[in-house]
Amino acid sequence: MSIEIQHLSRHYGATRAVDGFSLQLDDSVQVLALIGPSGGGKSTLLRLLGGLEVPDSGTIRLDGKELPHSEDGLREFRKRNGFLFQSFNLFPHLSALENIVLPLVEVHGWTRDRARDRAQEVVERFGMSAHLGKMPAELSGGQQQRIALARSMAHEPALLLLDEPTSALDPEMKAEVLDVVEELCQAGQRIILSTHEMGFARSCADEVVFLARGQLVESGKGETLFTSPKTEVVRSFLGKVMKW
């Protein structure tokens, strides 16, 4: 995907969540992973990229087009993308099926029949067909996250943004969800994700960006960044997270 981010900043009071972040990627990158310490600004950067927030300064260009600034423009932009948060994505008063169908019908203007067929198709692909009629509270964390993922990609988003999609899950459930994400990567879906799963970032991402204190510390191909980090910060971070 072609991304051009220039001097992007987003501050919350005195906290510089994203602080003069710049990055340029060309079309050869299909999957981008953001890694780094907690509080480093990954979630904020994803919200900015997804049009959920507006930067204080700086610009983002996706495929050559600058992100809109107006709320209406941003909503149109969000409709084209998909977003998955760490947890609590689903609407608890709607069944798994309704969670997927509702946006297709109300946001994308599909007929109910078409939306239901699509929901069934996506959920089957994620191995969740048996759970379509259940309420979110009846699903495990991993199942909830897979249904939420199905919802975020059912309309075939141009770009899928995943914010630590497995951080709230048990190891076994992490694997369930990562399998599905990997399958999406294989299928050519454009994805930007933040993650603490270093193995996953290394094997699936075309480009890895290390983010700390709102700034880009180091970026590069997974192989290079993980095997021979250039900066001490990255080396010590990787040392810590890979130790166990």
Partner 1 sequence: MLKYLISTVVSVVLLTTFCFVLWVVASHDYHWEAIRPYWGNLISGWWVTLLVSAAALVLSVVIGVLLTGGQLSGHRLPSVLCRIFVEFIRGTPLLTQILIGYYLIANSVGWDSRFGVGVVVLSCFSAAYLSEIFRGGIESIPRSQWLSARAIGFTGWQTYRFVVIPQAIRRVLPASAGQFANLIKDSSLLFVISVHEFTMQSREINANSYSTFEAYLPLIFGYFLLTFPISLLSRYLENRFRYEH
17 binds, among ligand ADP, Mg ion, partner 1, none (CB under 5 to 8 A by kind): ligand ADP
Closest Cα to residue 188, out of 153, 223, 232, 229?
A: 153
Write out the DSSP string of 181-238: HHHHHHTT--EEEE-S-HHHHHHH-SEEEEEETTEEEEEE-HHHHHHS-SSHHHHHHH
The whole-angstrom separation of Cα 217 and Cα 161 is 21
Partner residues linked to 162 by β-bridges: 84, 193
Strand, helix or coil for residue 93: coil
Touching partner 1, residues 64-93 (CB under 8 A): 75-76, 78-79, 83, 85, 87-93
Which of left, alpha, beta for 229 (phi over 0: left; psi -120 to 50: alpha)? beta
41 binds, among ligand ADP, Mg ion, partner 1, none (CB under 5 to 8 A by kind): ligand ADP
Which of left, alpha, beta for 164 (phi over 0: left; psi -120 to 50: alpha)? left
CB 47 within 8 A of CB 168: no
Point out the residue whose Cβ comes nearest to Mg ion. Answer: 43
The whole-angstrom separation of Cα 20 and Cα 157 is 28
- Which one, 18 or 216, has the nearer CB to partner 1? 18
If binding means CB under 8 A, how many residues of this protein chain bind partner 1? 25
Cβ of 142: how many Cβ atoms within 10 Å?
21
List of residues contacting Mg ion (CB under 5 A)? 43
44 binds, among Mg ion, ligand ADP, partner 1, none (CB under 5 to 8 A by kind): ligand ADP
The yes or no reply on residue 12 touching ligand ADP (CB under 6 A) is: yes
105-144 mask for partner 1 (x: CB under 8 A)? -xx---------------------------x-xx------
- Which one, 115 or 234, has the nearer CB to partner 1? 115
Touching ligand ADP, residues 39-98 (CB under 6 A): 39-44
- Which one, 16 or 134, has the nearer CB to Mg ion? 16
The yes or no reply on residue 52 touching partner 1 (CB under 8 A) is: yes
Closest Cα to residue 215, out of 40, 35, 15?
A: 40
Burial of 148 (0-12, 13-18, 19+ CB in 10 A): buried
Q: How far is the CB of 19 from ligand ADP (least distance, A)?
A: 10
Q: How far is the CB of 137 from partner 1 (least distance, A)?
A: 5
Q: How far is the CB of 148 from ligand ADP (least distance, A)?
A: 18
Q: How far is the CB of 236 from ligand ADP (least distance, A)?
A: 17
Binding residues vs partner 1 (CB under 8 A)? 50, 52, 75-76, 78-79, 83, 85, 87-94, 102-103, 106-107, 135, 137-138, 151-152
**Contact footprint for ligand ADP (CB under 6 A):** 12, 15, 17, 38-44
